[in-house]
Amino acid sequence: MHARTFWHLILLLSLAPALQAQDQAACYVALPAPERIEAVRQYIRQSWDLLTRSHRDLLAAVQDPKVEHEPGTPWPLYIAATEDRASVWQRLQAALPDSALRQIELRVLPENPVAHLDQIRPHGLLYLPEPYVVPGGRFNEMYGWDSYFIVRGLLRDGRIDLARAMTENHLYQVRHYGKVLNANRTYYLTRSQPPFLTAMILAVYAHVQDRDWLAATIPAIERYYAYWTTPPHLAGETGLSRYYDLGNGPAPEVVASERDAQGRTHYDRVREYYRTQEITAYDVSRYYVAEADSLTPLFYKGDRSMRESGFDPSNRFGPFSVDIIHYAPVGLNALLYRMEMDVARIHEILGDTAAAARWRARAETRRARVDRYLWDPQRGLYFDYNFETGRRSDYVFATTFYPLWVGMASPEQAARVAANLYLLEAPGGLLTSTHISGSQWDAPYGWAPLYLIVVEGLRRYGYDKAADRLSAKFISMVVEDFERTGVILEKYDVVQRRSDVALQYGYTSNEIGFGWTNAVFAELLAQMQQR
């Protein structure tokens, strides 16, 4: 029996009968008592300040557990060549004592940093003008798609100025680097993350109602949209988009920090897997040279691009998802549809109906292409499309609900997807996929951002009972684990309903904080309480 098939069978057996549709429908979990919930909410409200980084916190922010640093040397802080060095230094002098400034070295990046990455040594923090919230743990910087969910949580808790500041930082990155970065470290300059920029802008606008500010975001939005809709981010001849990191070679942060208890890097473990396992999902010779026991340049391109997707790692695009560069993914193209519709909405608010119509037309074109390539009418699910082979994947993943969240699914498609929720539902709520791979973005793990998207997608089409059930499972799981550990974590084993994880690939820890889990807990709870 193939290893993936074996572990999938084990997963199904471990969930039985919990994954039976009729049992899941009846398996409603009541919300915990108000005082238990309030203890978690108090932790979350306090966490926003603990996780915030401003200029005053710069000495803590420049430090990075993911890369090596020579003791006794200043921490580098980089600014874009298009930034005003004197102005930035003046800001830092106003915020920091001399003792802290002596431990920081302000450096200017090359004019085209992606083309001159070899000149950027050592790696370091990228300057941002406004305060921001970090996820927590080893993630001591502002992340791309994490920030959208964090902003939702900040707005829910009345932290409007901080939510707006984070949005300004994302716009700043686009203006200086051409994209929202994976995060503000130099080793992330080559890639973005799932595009939530316009969703973030409109979420903030709903609270501030500043039309001048909204209008000022359009040039950055258009530049970021171009990043996703021009080569090399086009998925063959489909007219859809793909993930594609602009860098080459091993990811520096992976080499330095993603090590297991034996000291093996993620790449060491990948090579061992290739040596010992049969690979049928793709032609492994493109990614691994058996005679030399070495990973190919194309492997590293795929590995980096998998990290741009935010799902790092899983086996969704074959082992370690390195074949992602040959796919048009459901989630990315749903988010770009949302972006197109968001920009149309922005132009409507500003009174430009002609521009709004152009952007809606782009969205409708994308919807038709998603229906053609990504919708499986037999399975009633959306799947990623391999534009090299001309075939859809059959890997069931929670991104199949993204078209519901963005509103591009027809009522009939939404009904089919909602009817398949049982495939991903577990005692703790939502599995990321139906496959056990040893990676964190597969079963038995569940992640807060996917809960929010799936729950809100279900609500959008009237499936409130299922949305309430998932929300209650998530809230109760987080509360119970919080009472056991005293903290909120990055991810959860949704089969065991605990934050204990046993990972074989990527980084093997479960980080404390945690930005998007805090935010999604607050948001789903509020939605439940408002019903």
- Positions marked active-site: 312, 490
Beta bridge partners of 498: 493
Spell 307-336 as b/e; 16+ CB within 10 A means b. bbbbbbbbbbbbbbbbbbbbbbbbbbbbbb
CB–CB of 77/104 below 8 Å? yes
**Six token digits for residue 218:** 């359009």
Helix (H) or strand (E) holding 75, with range, is strand 75-79
How many beta carbons lie within 10 A of that of residue 515, not counting itself? Answer: 30
Distance of CA 76 to the CA centre of its chain: 26
Contacts of 184 (CB under 8 A, 6+ apart): 125, 126, 127, 128, 141, 142, 169, 173
Q: Is 334 in a helix, a strand, or coil?
A: helix
3-state class percentages of the chain: helix first, strand second, coil last, to nearest 5: 55, 10, 35
Rounded to an integer, what distance in angstroms lies between the CA atom of residue 290 and that of residue 311?
A: 27
∠ CA 34-37-43, rounded to 5°: 140
∠ CA 369-461-208, rounded to 5°: 90
Rounded to an integer, what distance in angstroms lies between the CA atom of residue 406 and that of residue 416?
A: 16
* C-alpha atoms less than 13 angstroms from C-alpha of 348 in its C-beta half-sphere: 12
Q: Which residue has the tokens 């001399």?
A: 98
Rounded to an integer, what distance in angstroms lies between the CA atom of residue 314 and that of residue 436?
A: 9
